[in-house]
Amino acid sequence: MKRLRIFAILLSLTIVLVGCDHPDNVNTMPEKMPDDFNFSVRFGITSKNEVNTFDSTVTKDLVVNGTAKATIRLSEKEMTDIYNQMREIDILRDLKLVARSNCYKTPYSEDFWKVQLNAQAVMFDWSDEACEMTENAEKLKQLRQFILDIVKKKPEYKELPEAEGGYD
């Protein structure tokens, strides 16, 4: 009888412990960057800025003067660094991007992302229209800035004209 009770306790404990290993704790991205990894992100007040590794282009919003486009290839190291940042965020999982807020601002920036790896493409978007941002949206904003900092160092980007005007 005593053995049966110990067995029941151990079985219950095992079930509880196994149940605690929730799949949300598992990163959905492989550790090594897949060969087909690419992404695009459109962003800004009108979402006319874009970094697109699918076709190796960068588009810059010139505000009153339209847009300018340049062919810019990111190095393997730059792509790996970006991939690792995305993996840290676990960008493929269901991110909470919309903040509950009673406060809204205009103008506001909108981001539209497409990420591809292992023949899988994921698309999502978010805006900073709400006065507060979710933690995931803040991480994506930092990731976008990380990518933009890489792009802005490229000679091809530096040759693009400066934006004129602004958004009210």
Q: In this model, does residue 92 exceed pLDDT 90? A: no
pTM: 0.81
pLDDT at 96: 86
3-state helix, strand, coil split of the chain in percent (to 5) is 35, 25, 40
Show the tokens assigned to 30: 């492989």
Average pLDDT over residues 26-30: 78
Q: In this model, does residue 38 exceed pLDDT 80? A: yes
Report the CATH number of the 27-158 domain.
3.30.1560
Q: In this model, does residue 32 exceed pLDDT 60? A: yes
pLDDT at 20: 47
Mean pLDDT lowest among 16-25, 68-77, 140-149 = 16-25
